[in-house]
Structure 1
Amino acid sequence: MDPRIRDHARIIADHSTDIGEGDNVVISAPADAEDLVVALHEEVADRGATPVYTNSSERAARAYLRNHDGEFETPSHLLALYEEMDVYVAVRGGENASETGDVDPETTAAHRRAMQPVLTERLSKRWCGTQFPTAGFAQLAGMSTEGYENFVWDAVSLDWDAQGEFQQGMVDVLNEGESVRIRSGERTDLTMSIAGNVAINDTGKKNLPGGEVFTAPVRESVEGTVHFDLPLYRQGREIEDVHVTFDEGRVVEYSAERNESVLDGIFETDEGARYLGELGIGMNRAIDRFTYNMLFDEKMGDTVHMAVGSAYAECVGEDNEVNRSAEHVDMIVDMSEDSIIEVDGEVVQRDGTFRFEDGFEA
C-alpha cells in the first residue's frame, strides 16, 4: 500500500474527525477506494472505535433513480444508522464521474428532498468528506493517474496549522465587517450583508483538503448579478457559463450556456434552493489548477464561490435566519483579474491578492 494512503487515513482520524475510544464510525466509499477504507479501519481499531463500511456505488445509485417512480420516502433504516453514529467519513472516487449524467434532474431533486432529514442528521455529527485519487477523477481533471495521485495527496497533507494562520487574516476581516461587495469583470456585481454572522477558518476539519474561509449571507440581503465563469460538474453533467440574478436574496433569473436543465432541477428542489447559503473565499494556493471537482476547485486561491441552498448553522448568528434546503450547490468566480472584494466599502482583495499580502495595491 502506498504510504501516503495511511497518512491520508491518519489525517482523517486525528486532524479531521478526532476519532476516539467508543466512537461509532460510518465509512462510505466506492470500491476503488478500498485501500483507504482498509487504512481507515486500521486507524479506527487503534483508537478503540467501531466501524461500519457502506459501499457508495454511482452505478447502483443510477439504477435506483432511473427505475424509481419518483415518489421517494426518507430511508428510516439509514436515518437510524446515522442517529447511532458519532463520526461519518465520506470518500469520493469511482471509475466514471459522469455515471449519473442520464438521470432526470427532477428525479434527483425529489430524491434529495426525501434525503434531507438524513443529511441533516449526518451534518450534526463529526464528519469529513475527502477524495481518493481514482483513474476516473484523474481523467476528469485531465491528468495522468500518477499525476492526480500526487495532486490529491499533496493537497491533503498540507501544513494545516500554517494554512490556518494565513487564512485567519480573512476570517478577521469578515468577522469585523457587515457588508460584502464582489465585483468581477463586467458581469458580476453582487452585494450582501454578513452582519451578525460568523466566518469559519477551514483547515481540513470537515472537507479534506480544506483551504477556504466561508460564512453565510443574511438570507434576504443578497442583491445583484453574478457570472460564475468557472464550470461545475453536477449530477454527472458539466454546467458552463452560469449567470444568476438575486433580488431580496432570492434567485429571480438564471441561465447557463450548457446543461441549464440541471439548474432547473436544483432551483426547483425547494424554496431554500433559491437563496444563497454560503459565501466562500478560496485561499489554498497548493491547489493550483482546475479539476472539475468542487472539493478542490472551491479552495483554489484567487477564487470566490457561492452556494445556493442550505447554510451551515455554525455560520449564522442567533438573530439571523438559517437558510434550509435539500441542496447545497457551490459555483465559482475567478477573481484573478479585474476583480475586487470589498468589506464595508474597503477593498480587501484585488485581482486575487489580499490586503495582508505582499503585492497588494489599494
Structure 2
Amino acid sequence: MDPRIREHAEIIADHSTGIEAGDDVVIQLPAEAEDLAVALHEICGDRGANPVYLNYSKRAERAFKRSSAEFAEPSHRRALYEETDVFVIARGGANVTEDADVDPETNAAYNRAMEEVKRERLSKTWCLTQYPTAGHAQLAGMSTEAYEDFVWDAVSLDWEAQRAFQAEMVEILNDADEVRIRSGEGTDLTLDVSGNAALNDHGEANLPGGEVFTAPVRDGVHGEVHFDLPLYRYGREIDGVRLRFEDGEVVSHAAERNEDLLAGILDTDEGSRRLGELGIGMNRQIDRFTYNMLFDEKMGDTVHMAVGSAYPDTVGEENDLNESAEHVDMIVDMSEDSVIEVDGEVVQRDGTFAFEDGF
C-alpha cells in the first residue's frame, strides 16, 4: 500500500473527525478506494472504534434511478445514520460520467426523497474527501501519477497554518453586513450577510479544505453573476452559467452548455432558486482547475456560491435557513478585473487579499 494512503487515513481520523474508542463509524467509499477503507479499518481497530463499510457505486445508483417510477425516503438508511457518530465519504469512482443519462427531473425527485436522510448525516461528524483514481485524473487532464501527487499534496497540507491564514478572512466576514462581488462585465452581485457566521474550513468536513464560507440572508441577494468556470454535475458539464437575482431569488438563468440540467437543478424545490452559501477560496496549494468541486472551490483566486441548502451553523438565530434538496456550487474566477468588497471596503483585488503581500 502506498504510504500516502495511510497518511491520508490518519489525517481523516486525527484532524478531520477525531475518531476515538467507542465511535460508530460509517466508511462509505467506492470500490476503487478499498485501500483507503483498509487503512481506516486498521485505525478504527487500533482505537476501539466500530466501522461499517458501505461500498458506494454510482453505477448501481444510476440503475436504481433509471428503473424507479418514484422514490421514497429510505428509512433503514436513515436509521443507520441516526445511530452513527462519524461518517467518512470519498469520491473516486471509475467513471465520472456514469450518471450522465439520468434526466434532471429524476435527479431532482431522488434528491427530494433523500433530503431528510442527508440532513441527518450532516448533523453528525463527517468528512468528505477524494481518493485519486484514473477516472478523475482523466477528467483533470492529468496522468494518474500526477493526479495522485496533486491529491495527496493537497490533503497533507499544514492545516494549522492554513487555519491561521484563513482566520483573518473569518474575522472580516463575521463583522460584515454586506459583501459585493464584482468581476469583469458579467458579475456585480450584492449579498446581505448581516447576522450570519463565517466558518473556517481547514480540512475537517472537507478534505482538502481551504475556504471561508458563510450564508447570505435568504432574501438579501441582488444583481447578476457570471460563473466563468464550469462545473461537473450528474456526469455532465455545465458551462457559462449566468444568474440574475432579485430579493434573493433567481429570476433568470442561462448556460452555454447543458442549460436543461441547470434548469432542472433550479426547479428542484423553492429553496434551490436561492443561495445557501458564499465561499471564498484560500488554498494556494490547489493551483489548477480539475473539474472537481471539492478542489476547485478552494482555489485561492476564486469565489463560489451554491444554490440550495445553507449550512445551519452559518445562519444566525434571527435569520431564516434556506432549505433545499440541492446544494450546487458554482465558481467565479477572481484572478483578473475583480474585487471583493465588504461594507464598501475592498478586501481582495485580482485574487490578492488585503492582508497579503502585494495587495
In structure 1, give the amino acid aligned to 2:212.
Answer: V
Tell me which residue corresponds to 1:12: 12
- The 2-side partners of 1:289 and 1:25 are apart by 33
In structure 2, give the amino acid aligned to 1:16.
Answer: S
In structure 2, give the amino acid aligned to 1:40.
Answer: L
Deviations 1:137-193 (A, max 9, x none): 000000000000000000000000001111111111101111000000001000011
Q: Stretches of 4+ moved more than 6 A in 1? A: none
Tell me which residue corresponds to 2:109: 110
- The 1-side partners of 2:302 and 2:126 are apart by 25
- SS of the aligned residue for 2:87 comes to strand
Q: CA RMSD in A?
A: 0.5
Residue-pair matches, total: 359
Per-residue deviation at 1:47? 1.3
Per-residue deviation at 1:335? 0.1
Deviations 1:105-128 (A, max 9, x none): 100000000000100000000000
Per-residue deviation at 1:61? 0.9
- SS of the aligned residue for 1:72 comes to coil
- The 2-side partners of 1:143 and 1:241 are apart by 23
- The 2-side partners of 1:65 and 1:128 are apart by 25
- The 2-side partners of 1:233 and 1:201 are apart by 25
Q: Confirm or deny that 1:159 pairs with 2:158.
A: yes
- The 1-side partners of 2:173 and 2:262 are apart by 29
Tell me which residue corresponds to 1:325: 324
- SS of the aligned residue for 1:244 comes to strand
TM score, norm. by length of structure 2: 0.99
- The 1-side partners of 2:118 and 2:144 are apart by 32
**Structure 2 matches for 1:77-116, cutoff 5 A?**
77-116=76-115
- SS of the aligned residue for 1:281 comes to strand
- The 2-side partners of 1:95 and 1:87 are apart by 25
Deviations 1:268-312 (A, max 9, x none): 111000110000000001000000000000000100000000000
In structure 1, give the amino acid aligned to 2:108.
Answer: A
In structure 1, give the amino acid aligned to 2:110.
Answer: H
Tell me which residue corresponds to 1:225: 224
- SS of the aligned residue for 1:277 comes to strand
- SS of the aligned residue for 1:143 comes to coil
- The 2-side partners of 1:263 and 1:288 are apart by 27
- The 1-side partners of 2:172 and 2:347 are apart by 8
Percent identity, please: 71
Per-residue deviation at 1:194? 0.6
Tell me which residue corresponds to 1:309: 308
Per-residue deviation at 1:264? 1.4
- SS of the aligned residue for 1:196 comes to coil
Tell me which residue corresponds to 2:47: 47
- The 2-side partners of 1:47 and 1:236 are apart by 38
Tell me which residue corresponds to 2:2: 2
Per-residue deviation at 1:67? 1.1
Tell me which residue corresponds to 1:135: 134
Q: Confirm or deny that 1:64 pairs with 2:49.
A: no
Per-residue deviation at 1:100? 0.2
Tell me which residue corresponds to 1:199: 198
- The 2-side partners of 1:25 and 1:200 are apart by 25
Tell me which residue corresponds to 2:74: 75
Tell me which residue corresponds to 1:168: 167
Tell me which residue corresponds to 2:215: 216
- The 2-side partners of 1:35 and 1:291 are apart by 23
**Consecutive unaligned residues in structure 2, runs of 5 or more:** none
In structure 1, give the amino acid aligned to 2:21.
Answer: E
Tell me which residue corresponds to 2:21: 21
- The 1-side partners of 2:99 and 2:44 are apart by 32
Per-residue deviation at 1:265? 1.2
Tell me which residue corresponds to 1:239: 238
Per-residue deviation at 1:46? 1.2
- SS of the aligned residue for 2:217 comes to coil
In structure 2, give the amino acid aligned to 1:115.
Answer: M
Deviations 1:209-231 (A, max 9, x none): 00000000011000000000000
